């Protein structure tokens, strides 16, 4: 009889077991799989170091910081009005929303309040930034399971929102429209009526996505019961936004800690889902996009008359003190801690963005899942690398 190697023996035994329909566990060598930092599934320069046993993940560590740009330190060498040109690039898909909490923190230190008309317009543009941001997620999540058409629909319909944001602010991605004490300009003529038509189109888009994606059995199979985050675990990692509301936590800063915006003037609902899986995070964001269109519609119907700027000095010099303001941004809670020593520039700025905390749960969340599920879970957490690295 010819000598055979151990590996050949194992293969022979495994083949015999398969023929006899017998389950046989074989010890296999572990493997380390690097996903990223340049990989379509990481949605930016993020690296996931996954240690595998066969197709199962036994450990996964995110490596972040590839595009760190030092926004906090850059903010400390720029005047307060100049800071907004930096920070609306942190989450480039919802840029107007990034400006708001910093401006609110500066206004709190200066004891200045924007006029009601400015507060309403801020809230409208804030929610339009949310829609522009989340629409891409709704289309892109389908790509994670092999469907390309929805993301083309998302890019198509996001144009309607961006056109309106550009019409009001002059910028599609980096508006720099907020000012301490109000806004740069008032709304142009005809903008309100056009925006109401766009809100109808966005609700039609949500219906389309619900039919195309949520009704698809492959999407259901790849997201139901996958990447489950219990509420207590999510809270312990500091998750926020749809990621924690998808675990049943009824927490939304717009309702629970409103500051300087007009959410308390309209009727709207906070959506939650009890399952905590990839599907529930998608479902919550879909409902929140619909809800945002309703918020915008109500605000458009009741914009107060009056000025859009409070009286503030031409040269902004913020009194000494400290202020922290957070808002419910498209990716979750975003806060700015601003320390002033009474100068033209902030003495210290600390940014608490949502994506860093939302990503920090991945070592716990990916342990035990299979390799293809890494992609859908990362997609369902929905992060922007600029929001992580800042």
pLDDT of residue 255: 92
pLDDT of residue 158: 93
pLDDT higher than 80, residue 188: yes
pLDDT of residue 22: 58
**Signed CA dihedral, 363, 364, 368, 372: sign only:** negative
pLDDT of residue 319: 93
pLDDT range class, residue 117, cuts 50, 70, 90: very high
Q: Do residues 222 and 376 touch, judged by C-beta distance below 8 A?
A: yes
pLDDT higher than 90, residue 147: no
Average pLDDT of span 284-301? 95
pLDDT range class, residue 386, cuts 50, 70, 90: confident
How far apart are alpha carbons 141 and 240 in whole angstroms? 19
Sheet holding 332-340, edge to edge: 321-329, 332-340, 348-352
* Maximum Cα–Cα distance across the chain: 97
Higher local confidence (pLDDT), 388 or 119: 119
pLDDT range class, residue 1, cuts 50, 70, 90: very low
Give the pairing of strands 38-39 and 31-35. unpaired
Which range (13-27, 83-97, 128-142, 300-314) has the least confidence? 13-27
3-state secondary structure 61-77: EEECCCCCCCHHHHHCC
Which range (67-71, 75-79, 181-185, 219-223) has the least confidence? 67-71
Q: Which H or E element spans position 324?
A: strand 321-329
Higher local confidence (pLDDT), 205 or 6: 205
**Signed CA dihedral, 86, 109, 100, 387: sign only:** positive
Give tens-digit pLDDT for 206-257. 999 999 998 889 999 999 999 999 999 999 999 999 999 999 999 999 999 8
| Rg, the chain, Cα only | 24
pLDDT higher than 90, residue 35: no
Mean pLDDT of the chain: 89
């Amino acid at each position: 009889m010819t000598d055979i190697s151990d590996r050949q023996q194992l293969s022979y035994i495994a083949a015999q077991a398969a023929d006899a329909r017998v389950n046989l566990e074989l010890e296999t060598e572990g493997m380390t799989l690097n996903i990223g930092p340049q990989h379509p599934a990481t949605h930016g320069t993020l690296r996931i170091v996954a240690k595998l046993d066969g197709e199962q993940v036994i450990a996964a560590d995110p490596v972040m910081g590839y595009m760190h740009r030092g926004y906090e330190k850059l903010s400390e060498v720029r005047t307060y009005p100049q800071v907004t040109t930096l920070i609306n690039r942190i989450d480039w898909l919802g840029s107007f929303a990034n400006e708001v909490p910093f401006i609110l923190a500066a206004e709190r230190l200066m004891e200045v309040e924007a006029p009601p008309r400015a507060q309403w317009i801020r809230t409208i543009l804030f929610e339009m930034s949310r829609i522009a941001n989340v629409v891409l997620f709704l289309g892109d999540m389908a790509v994670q399971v092999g469907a390309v058409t929805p993301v083309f629909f998302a890019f198509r319909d996001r144009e309607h929102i961006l056109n309106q944001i550009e019409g009001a602010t002059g910028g599609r991605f980096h508006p720099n429209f907020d000012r301490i004490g109000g806004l740069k300009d008032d709304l142009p003529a005809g903008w309100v009526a056009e925006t109401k038509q766009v809100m109808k189109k966005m609700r039609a888009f949500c219906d389309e996505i619900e039919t195309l994606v949520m009704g698809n059995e492959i999407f259901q199979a790849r997201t139901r019961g996958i990447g489950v985050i219990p509420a207590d675990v999510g809270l312990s990692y500091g998750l926020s936004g749809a990621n924690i509301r998808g675990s049943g936590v009824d927490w939304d800063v717009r309702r629970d800690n409103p500051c300087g915006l007009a959410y308390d003037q309209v009727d709207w609902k906070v959506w939650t889902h009890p399952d905590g899986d990839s599907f529930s995070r998608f479902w919550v964001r879909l409902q929140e996009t619909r809800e945002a269109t309703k918020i915008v519609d109500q605000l458009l119907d009741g914009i107060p008359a009056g000025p859009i700027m409070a009286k503030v000095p031409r040269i902004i010099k913020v009194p000494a003190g400290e202020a922290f303001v957070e808002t419910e941004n498209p990716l979750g809670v975003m806060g700015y801690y601003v320390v002033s020593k009474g100068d033209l520039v902030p003495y210290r700025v600390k940014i608490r963005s949502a994506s860093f905390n939302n990503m920090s749960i991945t070592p716990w969340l990916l342990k035990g899942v299979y390799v293809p599920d890494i992609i859908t879970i990362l997609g369902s957490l929905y992060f922007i690398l600029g929001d992580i690295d800042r």
